[in-house]
Amino acid sequence: MRDSTVYFAVGIRQGLVVDVRILIIEDDKDVASFIVGGLQQAGYVVDCANSGKDGLFLATTESYDMLIVDRMLPEVDGLTIIRTIRASNIHVPVLILSALDEVADRVDGLKAGSDDYLVKPFAFVELQARVEALLRRPSAPSDGELTTLEVADLRMDLLRRSVSRSGQGIDLQPREFLLLEYLMRHAGQVVTRTMLLEAVWGYHFDPQTNVIDVHMSRLRGKIDKGYTRQLLHTVRGAGYRIEELGK
Amino acid sequence: MIHAPMNARLLMRTSAFRLALVYAALFVVSALVLFAILYWATIGSVGRQIDATIESEILGLAEQYERRGVTGLVDVLAERVRRSPDGGAIYLFADSNLSPLAGNLRRWPTLATDSTGQIEFDTTHNGAGVSRFRANILSVGRDYRLLVGRDLRELTELKVVFERAAVWGIAVVLILAIAGGALMSASAQRRIAIINRTARQIMDGELNERIPITGSRDEYHDLAIMINDMLSKIEILLDNVRHVGDSVAHDLKTPLTRLRNRLESLSHTELSMSSELEKCVAESDQLLATFNALLRIARIESGAYRTAFSTLNVMELVDGVCELYRATADEKRVTLSIVSKPEVLIYGDRDLLTQAFANLLDNAVKYTPYGGSISIDINELGGQIELAVSDSGGGVPAVDHLRIQQRFVRLDTARSEPGNGLGLSLVKAVVDQHKGELRTENLDPGLRMTMILPRDTGDTRSPASGL
């Protein structure tokens, strides 16, 4: 499958992420510089605050496309920041970083108004994939009324729960349908195995073996087999992406 | 079970009850001695008084005979009889043929025809019915005999009263001693049971549990304080060990994550090196997964997940995980079947139980050969739910059944498969947190791993603490 494997860094097209502003609120300078460096390299415009107070000030006075907030911060903690900006009607996507990975903490974070939750320490690809997913998340109501998803000649009808490629119907099992739907909603983005396990199965743990890969190869067999243009790509060291390459 | 309602058999077994029985025996013996002394001092003394009266009277009468002869004695006796109309005293003066000469006894008592000294006999006297008398007999002169006696009716009555009192008294002492012993041993047993219960909870992983201290400052109180102090000490030591382990894992994890990220960014730029670098990334991912698993087990064992317990449908949980693994099983042509599907509820943490079951299934799929079979069996037995995963793989030697639950233990036969030797340790930690049990059995061929978990009865939940 060499031809369907591409490197993540190659997949980032500068044009897409220009002028996207991200605020990072993180008191650990090492972690902050690591995230800032990585995101800047990926073409984002990044601001960084080292305390909850500064972060809250920036988040409420400046305009950002996304916030990355550490949960435990001096002065004002992460959850308070999120509650405060949500109370001020700021609907920017928020990703929480936390050293705690209990379900209760996750639930607390999401209840406070965050959109995603990442446990420290994390691989940068995981953060980047989630950042991209959140930036693309349909926020306007009109996006939420999508009834069809399309990637090249692959078409998914969300109302009739049917999938076709080049007009030819593809028979998918319910879970395969959910898997493909998630990938197509994030077309062009890297989706990690952890993201798939969370979004499609609702599990928050790492399976020991490559169960996700097996599901993906089945899905690939159904949608790509017999077509010259491969749509479902493995991104080495990161996850998967559905995309029409070389368009 | 220690805290089951106490039954009689259990009570008999306690050392306190045995001690109580010994005390009861001692009490009864003491009471017997006490009654004996009382008997001697009261009834014995009355008897001796009677003896003394008879003795002095008979000697007085003998003296009368010495002084005044037969006729004199006959006169005195007539006088005495007249003064004792109720018949409390008896007198008889007889010749050598035992024919009465004087006195208020009609004839010589048959059992005492040729004896002298003291006799006791029954006779009717003064129409008062049969009653017992005690009498002294004395030879007077050469041919005569004199008998002086007293009625023992009062003494006999006193004896009856005394005996009845003694029987009742001892019975009461016995009952009180046994009842008191039972109460004492029950109370001792209750306090020992509290200590046992706490010990059990601590063995079940609730290390912060302590024996409740009661107000009474007795030896149990001292014992409880001593045990609690010891437990605190052990907990501190354990925490230290765990903390060292956790911080090693945590502190190594962060630099490892950075290393992995640096390697990864290198592999994108230096294309010529990328293949080797990719292997390095994969190796560090493996290390990270191990650290994550280790930290997660430590977190589970610390009880941090207890707050997220809720009522779960076992079948839903099993179906979900099976669905996740079915594709992998299909790849190996391994059939995956769920044998029984009872609707049972369990009280626990969804994520933990899902992961534990996933680990069991993961192992089963890994170690079942191509074309084999895996079956999942859910059974409800009493208050417990048995969730069994049976495979048709090579099984595990019986000696290793417990060993495979330990951290980093991988059997030689498993070395070729991917894994870190922490999968079953996690299952064990999860099962322990749910007060359950993990059982390993060999099948022929294959292995059955069973999670035994308490059913959700609605009253097993403890109030959520913290957060």
| CA angle at B48 for the pair B45 and B50, rounded to the nearest 5° | 115
Q: How far is CA B264 from CA A33, A42, A235, B274, B279, in A?
A: 17, 14, 12, 9, 10
Confidence of residue B189 (pLDDT cuts 50, 70, 90): confident
Q: What is the pLDDT of residue A3?
A: 36
Q: What is the pLDDT of residues B408-465, one digit of tens each?
A: 888 877 777 777 788 899 999 999 889 899 999 998 889 999 999 988 766 544 444 3
Strands B373-381 and B335-338: parallel
Nearest by Cα to B196 from B217, B222, B224: B224
Q: What is the CATH number of the domain that holds B128?
A: 3.30.450.20
At B272 the pLDDT is 58
Cα separation, A207 vs B426, whole angstroms:
12
- The stretch B332-353 carries a mean pLDDT of 90
Instruction: Sort out which chain B residues have CB atoms less than 8 A from A190's CB and list them.
Output: none
**In this complex, which of B267, B423, B467 lies closest to A208 when CB atoms are compared?**
B423
Interface check A236 vs B, CB under 8 A: yes
Rounded Cα–Cα distance for residues A202 and A182 (Å): 13
B264–A206 CB contact, under 8 Å: no
Helix (H, G, I), strand (E, B) or coil at B317: helix
Position B330 scores a pLDDT of 92
pLDDT averaged per 10 residues in sequence order, chain A, 247 residues: 36 51 90 87 90 92 92 88 91 88 77 88 86 73 70 92 92 93 91 91 81 92 91 88 80
User: Which phi and psi (to 5°) does residue B66 adopt?
Assistant: -55, -40
Residue A96, beta-bridge partner list = A69, A117
- Claim: this prediction has a pTM higher than 0.90: no
Give SS3 for B373: strand
Contact A215 B327 (CB under 8 A): yes
State whether residue A123 sits within 8 Å of chain B by CB. yes
- Residue B312's region, left for phi above 0, alpha for psi from -120 to 50, else beta, is beta
pLDDT at A17: 41
Q: What is the predicted pLDDT for the residue at B267?
A: 67
**Distance, in angstroms, between B259 CA and closest chain A CA?**
10
- Residues of chain B with Cβ-Cβ distance to A126 below 8 Å are none
B194 neighbors B49 (Cβ within 8 angstroms): no
pLDDT at residue A58 in the model: 93
Cβ separation of B278 and A214 shorter than 8 Å? no
CA distance B265 to A66: 24
Q: Give the structural domain span for B354.
A: 306-454
- CA–CA distance, B453 with B384 (Å, rounded to integer): 6
| Phi, psi dihedral angles at B277 (to 5 degrees) | -65, -40
Residues of A in contact with B292 (CB under 8 A): 206
B362 vs A205: CB contact, 8 Å cut-off? no
| Chain A contacts in chain B segment 202-261 (CB below 8 A) | 253-254, 257-258, 260-261
Complete domains list, chain A, with CATH: 2-136 (3.40.50.2300), 141-242 (1.10.10.10)
Q: For residue B404, is pLDDT > 70?
A: yes
Q: Which residues of B touch A104 (CB under 8 A)?
A: 307-308, 467
Average pLDDT, chain B: 83
Q: Do A204 and B351 touch (CB under 8 A)?
A: yes
| Statement to judge: residues B132 and B6 lie in one domain | yes
How many Cβ atoms from other residues are within 10 Å of residue B205's Cβ?
Answer: 16
Q: Is residue B358 a part of any domain in this protein? A: yes
pLDDT at residue B112 above 70?
A: no
CATH label of the domain that carries residue B269? 1.10.287
According to DSSP, the residues that pair with B387 across neighbouring strands are B378, B451
Q: Is A140 on the interface with B (CB under 8 A)?
A: no
Please report the pLDDT score of residue B115 as a whole number: 66
- Tell me: pLDDT of B69 over 70: yes
Q: What CA–CA distance (Å, rounded) separates B407 from B424?
A: 8
Residues B312 and B409 in one domain: yes
The 10 Å CB-count burial string (b at 16+, else e) for B354-386 is bbbbbbbbbbbbbbbeeebbbbbbbeeeeeebb
Could you report the predicted ipTM of this complex, rounded to two decimals?
Answer: 0.78
Q: In this predicted structure, which of A78-92, A170-184, B44-58, B280-294 has the lowest mean pLDDT?
A: B280-294
Q: Tokens representing B40?
A: 């001697």
- What's residue A2's pLDDT? 36
Same domain for B226 and B84, yes or no, is no
Quick one: pLDDT at residue B465? 38
pLDDT of the residue at B2: 42
Q: Is residue B112 part of a domain?
A: yes
- The total domain count for chain B is 3
Is residue B212 domain-resident?
no
Q: Tell me, what's the pLDDT at B359?
A: 93
Under DSSP, is residue B353 helix (H, G, I), strand (E, B) or coil?
Answer: helix
B365 touching chain A per CB within 8 A: yes
In this predicted model, which residue has the larger pLDDT, B204 or A159?
A159
pLDDT at B8: 65
Lowest mean pLDDT segment, chosen from A2-11, A167-176, B5-14, B303-312: A2-11
pLDDT at B268: 65
- The answer to whether residue A193 neighbours chain B at the CB level (below 8 Å) is no
Q: How far apart, in whole angstroms, are the C-alpha atoms of residue A186 and residue B355?
A: 27
Check CB contact under 8 Å for B305 and A103.
Answer: yes
Asked whether the beta carbons of residue B268 and residue A211 sit closer than 8 angstroms, the reply is no
By the CB < 8 Å criterion, does A18 face chain B?
Answer: no
**Sign of the alpha-carbon torsion through B20, B25, B29, B34:** positive
The pLDDT of residue B261 is 76
Q: Any idea what the Cα angle at residue B42 is, between residues B41 and B44, rounded to 5°?
A: 75
Domain identity same for B114 and B196: yes
The closest alpha carbon to A154, from A221, A215, A233, A242, belongs to A242
| B140, B267: one domain | no
Q: What is the pLDDT of residue B82?
A: 83
Query: pLDDT tens, B433-446?
Result: 898 999 999 988 89
Residue B95 belongs to a domain: yes
User: Is there a single domain that holds both residue B199 and residue B61?
Assistant: yes
CATH number assigned to the domain comprising residue B373: 3.30.565.10
Chain A residues whose CB is inside 8 A of the B289 CB are 206
- Interface contact A111, partner B, CB < 8 A: no
